């Protein structure tokens, strides 16, 4: 069997794709790079907003056409598969295999079945299963918990991913060891709300560390860089900020979604904190981690959001001074309380607010990034950048950064970089050698460069 997985959505989904691919390979499948080569195509779906749902609909339509022309098995996994909305689509587009986020290990049964197979139960043994570490890759994700116990009124995730289940610390550290043995240098701990790790359904699990303790354990493992995502402010404790501040391997990077700066909107979202409480967390973070890079998520145009409410989001942005933000227009999701109880605002109003917020974000990102010019940043390079002759990577604070290839630096690895230039979106700089001086750039043998350096005779 030749299999191909298309992945939409968040990092949790990327991890799940890796898990399912490892299962497919263990059942004898060859993973191929394109739909055309595959006889089994699986779409890992996202349901958090309307747009990713519509994308899946389009792809399912295309796949149904292909099915009419050649033998092809089509599967759908992930968040949308768990919802009635997704199941309706599955029926309409003749999907053969359907796996919810809690039934990924049913892929084996699905392959054995000679008929339509739908697996939608939440099974805990998922946590016992460890995918092989990604050989040769420097970065890896590590899921430490699944599901979410919060009930934000706009969010479909508690429905699609179920209640929170933390993975055992032994299980997590075992996977980390495998990743380290495979050469991983940066690990990102993943969960819908990692701060609540070890407290499932409100009850502290015996023998489980707190999230801050887990961070310290991972930080001592020998891995060079540790990041985590994502966090609900309600479960953020000062000890997490302290753990980041005092553990060298944990990156100075915090993504703390605020969603809105208005107490009235936060209440309607059922976020369980107010602006003041959120700002207290930010103050603690800044105290423990002076050079922290701060990211957030913001939803604009939540039902009932007034101009005054929106102004409070803008002023909160200034008060925190975020390095960057993921910004979304509110998208009513069937099955959520806000869909049921509140009236959606007009599209133009939401779009206009998003534009104003994006302008603010760009302004701050430009200022923050410009402040990095002249500093030395530790960069994990992944490989060649889009621009020929350059490498791309990211800093400990998750800034995208490019640098010219240099003599004595591999294309993938961790290097010190002096930042020379900034835009609102990324940084660029020069790779430094062990003596702190820039390494010589690799000569670029394009005809233009060669002509300038005189390496080729001018025509």
Q: Compute the CA torsion angle 12, 15, 16, 19 (nearest 10 deg).
A: -160
Total interface residues for ligand 5AD by CB under 6 A: 12
Neighbours of 70 (CB within 10 A): 8
Among residue numbers 153 through 172, which ones bind ligand 5AD (CB under 6 A)? 154-155
Which residue among 253, 330, 364, 415 contacts ligand 5AD (CB under 6 A)?
330
266 is a site residue for ligand SF4 (CB under 6 A)? no
DSSP state for residue 96 in the 8-state scheme:
S
Q: Which of 4, 24, 45, 49 binds ligand 5AD (CB under 6 A)?
A: 49
Residues 45-104 that bind ligand SF4 (CB under 6 A): 46-48, 78-79
* Nearest to ligand 5AD of 8, 154 (CB atom): 154
Binding segment toward ligand SF4, per CB under 6 A, in 4-12, 61-69, 239-247, 248-256: 4-12
Nearer to ligand SF4, 160 or 331 (CB): 160
User: Is 79 marked as a binding-site residue?
Assistant: yes
CB of 90 to ligand 5AD, least distance (A): 22
Sign of CA pseudo-dihedral 375, 376, 380, 384:
positive
CA angle 207, 211, 217 (to 5 degrees): 75
Give the residue closest to ligand SF4 by C-beta: 9
Indicate if the alpha-carbon torsion angle 208, 212, 215, 220 is positive or negative.
Answer: negative
Residue 225's nearest CA partner among 250, 202, 246 is: 250
User: What ranges in 123-224 are assigned the alpha helix state H?
Assistant: 157-161, 169-181, 211-219
46 is in an annotated binding site: yes
Quote the crossing angle between the two packed helices 50-69 and 84-92, to the nearest 10°.
Answer: 20
* Partner whose footprint covers residue 79, from ligand SF4, ligand 5AD, none (CB < 5 to 8 Å by kind): ligand SF4
Q: Which of 3, 7, 9, 83 binds ligand SF4 (CB under 6 A)?
A: 9
**Contact code string over 56-75 relative to ligand 5AD, x by CB under 6 A:** --------------------
- Site membership for ligand 5AD, residue 231 (CB under 6 A): no
Strand partners of residue 226:
187, 250
Q: DSSP character for 424?
A: S
Helical packing angle, 211-219 and 238-246, nearest 10°: 10
Least Å from the CB of residue 296 to ligand 5AD: 9
Binding flag, residue 10, ligand SF4 (CB under 6 A): yes
Question: Per the annotation, does 251 bind a ligand?
Answer: no
Using CB under 6 A, which of the segments 86-94, 212-220, 282-290, 330-338 binds ligand 5AD?
A: 330-338
Rounded to the nearest whole angstrom, what is the least distance from the CB of residue 149 to ligand 5AD in the complex? 15
Q: How far is Cα 221 from Cα 224, in angstroms, rounded to an integer?
A: 9
7 binds ligand SF4 (CB under 6 A): no
3-state class (DSSP) for residue 49: coil
For residues 282 and 288, give the distance between their C-alpha atoms in angstroms, rounded to a whole number.
10
User: Residues comprising the binding site for [4Fe-4S] cluster?
Assistant: 10, 46, 79, 148, 152, 155
């Amino acid at each position: 069997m030749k299999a191909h997985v298309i992945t939409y959505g968040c990092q949790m989904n990327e991890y799940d794709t890796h898990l399912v691919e490892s299962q497919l390979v263990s059942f004898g499948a060859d993973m191929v790079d394109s739909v055309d080569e595959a006889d089994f195509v699986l779409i890992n779906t996202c349901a958090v907003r309307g747009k990713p749902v519509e994308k899946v609909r389009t792809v399912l339509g295309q796949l149904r056409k292909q099915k009419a022309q050649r033998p092809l098995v089509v599967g759908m996994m992930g968040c949308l598969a768990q919802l009635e909305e997704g199941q309706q689509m599955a029926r309409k587009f003749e999907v053969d295999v359907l796996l919810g986020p809690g039934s990924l290990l049913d892929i084996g049964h699905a392959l054995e079945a000679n008929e339509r197979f739908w697996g939608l139960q939440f099974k805990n043994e998922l946590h016992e299963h460890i995918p092989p570490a990604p050989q040769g890759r420097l970065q890896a994700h590590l899921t430490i918990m699944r599901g979410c116990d919060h009930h934000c009124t706009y969010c479909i995730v508690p429905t699609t991913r179920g209640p929170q289940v933390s993975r055992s610390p032994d299980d997590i550290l075992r996977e980390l060891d495998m990743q380290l043995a495979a050469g991983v240098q940066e690990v990102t701990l993943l969960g819908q709300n990692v701060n609540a790790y070890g407290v499932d359904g409100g009850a502290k699990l015996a023998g489980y560390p707190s999230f801050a303790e887990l961070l310290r354990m991972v930080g001592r493992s020998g891995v060079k860089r540790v990041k985590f995502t994502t966090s609900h402010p309600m479960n953020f404790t000062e000890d997490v900020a302290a753990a980041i501040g005092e553990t060298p391997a944990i990156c100075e990077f915090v993504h703390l979604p605020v969603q809105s700066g208005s107490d009235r909107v936060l209440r309607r979202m059922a976020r369980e904190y107010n602006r003041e409480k959120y700002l207290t967390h930010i103050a603690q973070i800044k105290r423990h981690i002076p050079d922290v890079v701060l990211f957030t998520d913001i939803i604009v145009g939540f039902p009932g959001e007034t101009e005054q409410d929106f102004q409070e989001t803008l002023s909160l942005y200034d008060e925190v001074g975020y390095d960057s933000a993921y910004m979304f227009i509110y998208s009513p999701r069937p099955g959520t309380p806000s869909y049921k109880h509140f009236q959606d605002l007009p599209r133009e109003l939401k779009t206009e607010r998003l534009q104003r917020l994006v302008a603010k974000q760009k302004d701050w990102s430009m200022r923050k990034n410009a402040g990095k010019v002249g500093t030395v940043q530790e960069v994990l390079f992944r490989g060649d950048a889009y621009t020929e002759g350059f490498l791309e990577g990211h800093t400990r604070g998750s800034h995208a950064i490019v640098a010219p290839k240099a003599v004595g630096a591999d294309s993938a690895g961790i290097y010190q970089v002096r930042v020379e230039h900034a835009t609102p979106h990324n940084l660029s700089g020069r790779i430094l050698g062990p003596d702190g001086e820039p390494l010589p750039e690799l000569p670029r043998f394009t005809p233009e460069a060669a002509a300038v350096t005189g390496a080729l005779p001018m025509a």
